[in-house]
Amino acid sequence: MPFGQFVSLVDMLVERYYPALKLDMPEGQAKLLLLKLSNLLLSKYECVHKHTTLISHPFSLIVDPANGCSLHCPACVHTSSGNRKNFIWPGGFLEEDLFLAFLDEYGPYGFDLYFANYGEPLLNKLTPRFIQMARRFALPTFSSTSLSLKTINFEGLVLSGLPFLILSVDGATSATYLQYRRNGDFALVIDNIRKLVAAKARMNSYTPVLHWQFLVFEHNVHEVKEVKELAATMGVNQLSLITPYPVAWDEPTISITKDWPTETLLFHCDMDAYKAALDRMLIDLDNEVINRHFLRKWSDRIKPRRETGDEAEVMAVKSLAQPQSTREMKTNASGWAETGGNAATGFIRTLRWTQPAGSCHALGRRPST
Ligand SMILES: C[S@@+](CC[C@H](N)C(=O)[O-])C[C@H]1O[C@@H](n2cnc3c(N)ncnc32)[C@H](O)[C@@H]1O
Ligand code: SF4
């Protein structure tokens, strides 16, 4: 089906289902649901047909609230090896006005938002606030932290409504932990886990689900049994033992354990409580912004290519206000499609799955054209 026809069909579906949906749910929720679903349909079309200019928006978002980190894990941009000089990664914190502009632009179309990339998200004092702001578009958020920080706003984190938090702890003893999480503090991390668990209990909150992630290497595989016992007694919800990506190119003494079977242990799981926490996001919707997006038909967002008149190739209509730092779509060295970031003020990236088949990890490469 030609693109123009497909887009009209999507508009028609939205128009037809909106009256029915708003009988079952508040108008804002109905609009948001249709925005997300119609964007997904268009995204799939543009992916399958290998469009290089897009009218659909990224449906999986990544935002790094802080670029810096005081740890020096191998192969990370913060490594302490000689390779560090190859990474141009100035520190900085994401500011609220930039995040707000990003959220107003992309939030209504997103299905999730990951608050981390190559920095320590909890270094930014505003991170709990950013998580809370994402609720305006019912975006389930998740993040990953080393927890090796002296100051953490535990209550703020729980109150933010963050659904899921990965705790990066690859050891059951300090000596082993420090081989990978260089410059970390194992005792501090364990203490912070306890404080986070206590804050959740105090506030009677099931979320954030605490997911202890243990990367299994040759140097820590002997502590797998111990970490299972430790995690089980500490009140975290889950523990996963996973095969990391190799880092020997940066630190030859660290090698991965080949053929390690990924394993996830569930300690305290309550799907009903989790669903209830996600449902609570629906009460904080920003109906004004949602409505602004909803009023723009998809067919008004395309312009046929003038030279060929080929409707399958479209040009994105940039009518929504975008901050300069997130404006350009470009492809980085490894082929990821990304909208640019501003490393000095925190890093924003939006990535789009552009392959027809893929994992549920919704990051994507641009099609080869
Ligand atoms: C670059 S970190 C940034 C977030 C935070 N600083 C942390 O470490 O959790 C993003 C994720 O990459 C994970 N990671 C680090 N080294 C890895 C490796 N060799 N293989 C797979 N994941 C790794 C971290 O544990 C974390 O979950
Ligand atoms: S804690 Fe995370 S961001 Fe920091 S050096 Fe390690 S992997 Fe990189």
Structure confidence by residue, pLDDT tens digits, 81-97: 999 999 988 889 999 99
Comparing 355 with 142, which gets the higher pLDDT? 142
Same domain, 269 and 157: yes
Ligand 2 pocket check for 78: Cβ under 6 Å: yes
Ligand 2 pocket check for 182: Cβ under 6 Å: no
Residue 186 domain-assigned? yes
Q: Report the alpha-carbon distance of residue 200 to residue 154 in Å, rounded.
A: 8
Same domain, 151 and 245: yes
Same domain, 143 and 231: yes
pLDDT at 367 over 80: no
Domain boundary among 279, 307, 327: 279
pLDDT at 319 over 70: no
DSSP 328: -
Helical spans, DSSP H, in 54-142: 96-106, 127-133
Q: Quick check: helix, strand or coil at residue 213?
A: strand
- pLDDT category of residue 302 using cuts at 50, 70 and 90: confident
Same domain, 237 and 253: yes
In the predicted model, what is the mean pLDDT of the chain? 85
Q: What is the pLDDT of residue 232?
A: 96
Q: What is the pLDDT of residue 364?
A: 29
Same domain, 23 and 79: no
Distance 71 CA to ligand 2 centre (A): 6
Give me 163's structure tokens: 């659904």
Read off the pLDDT of residues 143-163 as tens digits, 9 standing for 90 and up: 999 999 999 999 999 999 999
Same domain, 221 and 341: no
% of the chain with per-residue pLDDT over 70: 82
Query: Residue 242 sits in which domain range?
Result: 60-279
pLDDT average, residue stretch 39-48: 96
Q: Report the alpha-carbon distance of residue 155 to residue 203 in Å, rounded.
A: 8
How many domains does the chain contain in total?
Answer: 2
pLDDT at 306 over 80: no
pLDDT at 340 over 50: no
Q: Which of 70, 73, 214, 361 to mutate to test the pocket of ligand 1 (most atoms within 8 A of CB)?
A: 73
Distance 182 CA to ligand 2 centre (A): 9
Q: What is the pLDDT of residue 304?
A: 59
Q: Are 42 and 10 in contact (CB under 8 A)?
A: yes
Radius of gyration from C-alpha coordinates of the chain: 22
pLDDT at 288 over 60: yes
pLDDT at 28 over 90: yes
- pLDDT category of residue 225 using cuts at 50, 70 and 90: very high
Place of tokens 């492809």: 331
Q: What is the pLDDT of residue 333?
A: 30
Q: Report the alpha-carbon distance of residue 214 to residue 290 in Å, rounded.
A: 39
Which range (51-65, 94-108, 126-140, 311-325) has the least confidence? Answer: 311-325
Q: Which of 83, 144, 211 to mutate to test the pocket of ligand 1 (most atoms within 8 A of CB)?
A: 144
Same domain, 72 and 190: yes
Distance 120 CA to ligand 2 centre (A): 7
Which range (148-152, 234-238, 331-335) has the least confidence? Answer: 331-335
Distance 78 CA to ligand 2 centre (A): 7
Ligand 2 pocket check for 120: Cβ under 6 Å: yes
Q: Which of 115, 120, 186 to mutate to test the pocket of ligand 2 (most atoms within 8 A of CB)?
A: 120
pLDDT average, residue stretch 233-243: 97
pLDDT average, residue stretch 185-193: 98
**Closest residue (by CA) to atom 23 of ligand 1?**
244
Domain boundary among 221, 253, 279: 279
Same domain, 207 and 336: no
Q: Which atom of ligand 2 is nearest to the CA of 77?
A: 8
pLDDT at 307 over 90: no
Q: Are 254 and 74 in contact (CB under 8 A)?
A: yes
Distance 238 CA to ligand 1 centre (A): 17
Residue 367 domain-assigned? no
Distance 268 CA to ligand 1 centre (A): 24
Distance 337 CA to ligand 2 centre (A): 23
Q: What is the pLDDT of residue 130?
A: 98
Which residues, in sequence order, are bridge partners of residue 63?
348
Q: Which atom of ligand 2 is nearest to the CA of 144?
A: 2
Nearest Cα residue to 134 out of 278, 18, 24, 14: 278
Q: Report the alpha-carbon distance of residue 280 to residue 211 in Å, rounded.
A: 21
Which sign does the torsion angle of CA 220, 225, 226, 228 carry?
A: positive
pLDDT at 53 over 80: yes
Residue 97 domain-assigned? yes
Distance 143 CA to ligand 2 centre (A): 13
pLDDT at 272 over 60: yes
pLDDT at 278 over 90: yes
Could you give the dihedral angle defined by the CA atoms of residues 38, 44, 47 and 49, in that order, rounded to the nearest 10 degrees?
Answer: -100
Ligand 1 pocket check for 118: Cβ under 6 Å: yes
Which range (30-44, 52-66, 195-209, 305-319) has the least confidence? Answer: 305-319
Residue 355 domain-assigned? no
Same domain, 70 and 165: yes
List Cα–Cα distances, 146 to 13, 30, 121, 221, 285, in angstroms: 45, 38, 9, 19, 31
Q: What is the pLDDT of residue 260?
A: 83
Q: Report the alpha-carbon distance of residue 166 to residue 14 in Å, rounded.
A: 36
Same domain, 106 and 117: yes
Place of tokens 């140097």: 219
Q: Report the alpha-carbon distance of residue 160 to residue 262 in Å, rounded.
A: 31
Q: What is the pLDDT of residue 336?
A: 34
Ligand 1 pocket check for 213: Cβ under 6 Å: yes
Comparing 313 with 161, which gets the higher pLDDT? 161
% of the chain with per-residue pLDDT over 90: 78
- pTM, two decimal places: 0.85
Residue 325 domain-assigned? yes
The residue type found at 300 is: D
